[in-house]
Structure 1
Amino acid sequence: MRRREIWGTLSGPARFLVVNQFGVWLGFFLVVPLLATRGTVELGISSAAVGLVLGWRTFSQQGLMFGAGLFADRIGLRAALLIGSAARSVSLVMLAFAEQLWSLLVAITVFGLAGSLIAPSTRAYLGVAAGERRSEAFALFNSASVLGSAIGPLIAVAASPLGFRTTCLLAAVVFTAMAVGQLRVLPPAPTPTAPALKQAVLAILRSRRLLRFSASASGQYAVWNGAFLLLPLEATRLTGYAAVGTGTVFVLIAVTTVALQVRLLVLQRRLGTIRAAAAGVALTAVGFGAVVATRAGWPEDVVPGGGQLVPIGLLLVGTVVIAAGNALAVPPIQDLTAALAPPGQVAAAYGINGLFAGTVSAVVVPLVGRVDDLGQASGQRWTAPALVCLVALVSALAVRLMYRNADS
């Protein structure tokens, strides 16, 4: 089935949520990549303080996603999504005018809280609105996410002469437009059916398969974040140009995802949902194997006179494989999360999934960065991508072993 055919089978709300996801990531990446420069260069804040701001953003979103999911199940998914989008618009206006560390922290806290509401409510609503087409809908949903994350930084770079404040206000307009669309397109259904708060929390904590799956699949999120850390660094090292290297990586990831996402649904059906999730994460490990090769130095020895062409080629191939693996893994992971949710608690299930993913990523990605620093200093530059490769393999194995006797 082609992308256009899948699009035609989705309901109006499901289609809008795919477009909405593109807007969410576009608006996010219009601003977040510029925060480091805004803090250190324009406001004179130390790199450590900017790191605090960025780390707090991750914690305030991923760390609170479970609670936000419980809240969304109780008040209704559309209401939670509207509140989250409105709060994200407000936070962007606050960021535009924040000029001190404390005001940046306040603005980024609201920014993260908004994201903690948007993420689980959007996924839960899409899972309900798509019905039997859930896997197909999440495939388009993931394509929209990656496309927005690729186009956002490019627009941010193009708009940089206008200044950080203007870019923030532009992103606020994007989220405001999404909120208006949510109000006009999305019906208030599905009606909240979540139990009382105590029972809701206990139901999630007693869902052992959901908790085990969320823990097993959390490596996928950490690996994806590791890709966004290491791939631009390696592309910059090989080309000598940060803008060219980073832009190439983002565009290649987007093109690969959009080109292969729907085609990979055929493979997902052949493998089964569980095997497809595990295979996708394992495929990202293969991609990082190519990055290990670019840093190990052996291509120059094997291909005399190859210069930088061989490692650049390996990096491009590795980037494509990583993007393809992520495109294969994400839809079944999202599908399984919804399938394992207790009745009436789909948003909470996505929330606990996000909590595991964010926690593991918060540990793994800084560790990868530290290993990369040590590897650069010692000449063992391959160690950081090798660590990401190992995390991917462990996660893939955990997902597969968890369901080794399941009928997928």
Structure 2
Amino acid sequence: MPSPDRRSETRTLLGAQLVFNIGFYAVVPFLAGAMGTEYGLDAAAIGLVLGARTFSQQGMFLFGGLLADRWGARRAILTGCLVRILGYATLAAASDFTLFLLGAVLTGAGGALFSPALESQLSHADQPPAGGPGAGGRNRRSVFVWLAITGELGAVVGPLLGSALLGWGFDAALTAGIAVFTAVTVLLWFRLPAGPGRRPRGRDPEGSATVPAGPALDCLRNRRFVVFCLFAGTNMLAYNQLYFTVPVELDRRGLDAAWLGGLFLLASVLTLLLQLPVSTLGRHLGPGRALSAGFLLVAAAFTVAAVTSVPPGTSGSSVLPVMGTVAVLILGHMLLTPTILSLVPAFTPAPETRSGRGAYYGLAATCGGVAVLVGNAGLGVLLELTARHQWWPGTPWVPLTLLALLAAAALPVVLRGHGAVRAPGPSATAAPSRRTP
């Protein structure tokens, strides 16, 4: 069993994930509306600010992971909290486009520093108990199961808090966000153990074991891991369709935007209710089969969307096919996200040690962000061509289906014969952990 100190640290990190998500979702979902109504920015400026926030986070995940390895996870996590506080304070002081842009970039950078460090630190609690492979590690739920639960709770509570505060204006929501992140920073300052600074060359921070002192970007030279990340990035691209192609499908059916909120609520309820049962199934499947099953479910979700898709302007269409698409997609994510996170340490040069994991988690996140950027750009063109030439309305869903099938077939091959099939953590899976925003 993990030591009492390790369990206490894990609870602290999971609590930080919960509060961090509450602080994010209490503010950022309402940012676009506030910039337009309260500050009079046009659509182009709003789009640039929101795009800069996302890009600054996704593009800096690898950099954040490298800093976590160099500084230690504690320092990187605390710095991420402080940078996000600075970002929110800049947004609160903003009255023109330049300050909004700066505040958005700082907000994204804070998440990029926080998330890889937190995941890297949590992965140490995913180690099997002392006593070898037979000591019951396979019967434990991965810590990333609980990360998924806490993240989803934050994503549900945050918008409720933000909506309640908007009656006092957007500045009230920002002030609450600053207070939340300040509380997280203080909590982590006192609760997270002080780790070593820069890692001595060839030494493991936890003890005296010799570890490879490879270059900082060793993860980019690990070709098997890069291939793993590229295929696993399909997971983030698929989940992102809740924000992109699903709203398009609702619009085609003549359904108003209120239905989108209902679909997000459906996703959260399924996550919270089915998290633990799906994790039990994932433990029995093992990592390779869990990844295949998860991506097959994603492919099935997109197949349902393609077959039931309707031409633009169709009236009287039911929302049930879209609900079915979302439900099956979420079930796929319940098998995928924590499996991917728990496998990352097995690709590091010395998976039994603490060193070097931040960069690996950062690269995995960055590959997902690149998949979303490139994939959504291509899907946008395909959606436009489908509407212009009146192609079969399910056409945009076909490449998504094929990508999911390709990932389902390829990932077990990538894992075959590699230590990843005996990952340091249990082969547990869970619902989609909304990566710390």
Instruction: State the distance in 1 between where 2:327 and 2:248 align.
Output: 16
User: SS state of the match for residue 262, structure 1?
Assistant: helix
Q: Deviations over 1:244-281 (max 9, x none)?
A: 31221111111111112221222222221122123212
- SS of equivalent to 2:345: helix
1:182-220 deviation line (CA, Å, top 9, x unaligned): 122221247764759x94325223322222211121111
SS of the aligned residue for 1:227 comes to coil
- Paired residue for 2:155? 149
Q: Does the aligned pair in 1 maintain the 2:62–2:359 contact within 8 Å?
A: yes
Q: Does 1:50 align with 2:57?
A: no
Asked if 2 retains the 8 angstrom alpha-carbon contact of 1:194 and 1:200, the reply is: no
Alignment match of 2:63 (pick from 44, 61, 67): 67
Residues 195 and 88 (structure 1 numbering): CA distance in 2 closer, same or farther, change over 3 Å?
farther
Which stretches in structure 1 are left out of the alignment for 5+ residues?
1-5, 301-305
Q: AA paired with 1:294?
A: T
Q: Distance in 2 between matches of 1:194 and 1:350?
A: 21
Q: 1:174 aligns with which of 167, 170, 180?
A: 180
Residue 348 of structure 2: which of 338, 341, 360 is its match? 341
Aligned residue type for 1:203: D
- Root-mean-square deviation (CA, aligned residues, Å) is 2.9
> TM-score scaled by structure 2?
0.81
The 3 A distance-change label for structure 1 pair 390 and 32 is farther
Q: Aligned residue for 1:303?
A: none
Change beyond 3 A, Cα 1:389–1:169: farther
**Structure 2 residue corresponding to 1:12, chosen from 8, 15, 25:** 8
* Equivalent residue, structure 2, for 1:402: 414
Counterpart of 2:337 in structure 1 is 330
113-122 or 123-132, which deviates more:
123-132
| Farther-moved stretch of structure 1 (372-381 vs 141-150) | 372-381
Contact 1:294/1:312, CA 8 A, preserved across alignment: no
- 2:149, 2:271 within 8 Å by CA — same for their partners in 1? yes
Separation of aligned partners in 1, 2:198 and 2:276: 32
Q: Does 1:389 align with 2:396?
A: no
Distance in 2 between residues matched to 1:218 and 1:402, nearest whole Å? 14
Gaps of 5+ in 2: 129-136, 203-212, 422-437
Q: Which one-letter code corresponds to 1:381 in the other structure?
A: P
Distance in 2, Cα, partners of 1:229 & 1:135: 32
Conserved 8 A contact 1:277-1:399 = yes
CA contact (8 A) 1:82 1:183 kept: yes
2:263 to 245, 249, 255: 249
Distance in 1 between residues matched to 2:250 and 2:37, nearest whole Å: 24
Q: CA offsets per residue over residues 114-138 of structure 1, 9 Å max, x none?
A: 1111110010111113433785210
Alignment of structure 1 residues 57-136 onto 2, 5 Å = 57-132=53-128, 136=142
How far did residue 80 of structure 1 move?
0.7
What is the Cα deviation at residue 235 of structure 1?
A: 4.3
2-structure distance, mates of 1:403, 1:160:
48
Shift of 1:26: 2.2
Shift of 1:295: 1.5
The partner residue of 1:30 within 26, 32, 41 is 26
Provide the residue aligned with 1:262 in structure 2.
Answer: 276
Give 1:386's aligned amino acid. Answer: V
1:208 & 1:334 partners in 2: Cα distance? Answer: 18
> Is it true that 1:355 corresponds to 2:361 in the alignment?
no
Cα distance per residue 1:265-302 (max 9 Å; x no partner): 222222211221232122122112222233247xx9xx
Question: Structure 1 length as normaliser, TM-score?
Answer: 0.87
The residue number in structure 2 matching 1:227 is 242
- Which structure is higher in helix share? 1
Q: Is the CA contact (8 Å cut-off) linking 1:135 and 1:331 kept in structure 2?
A: no
- SS of residue matched to 2:244: helix
Q: How many residues align?
A: 392
**Does the 8 Å CA contact 1:296/1:382 hold for their aligned counterparts?**
yes
**C-alpha distance in structure 1 between counterparts of 2:295 and 2:197, whole Å:** 35
C-alpha change, 1:392 and 1:24, in structure 2 (3 Å) is: farther
Alignment equivalent of 2:299, drawn from 256, 276, 285: 285
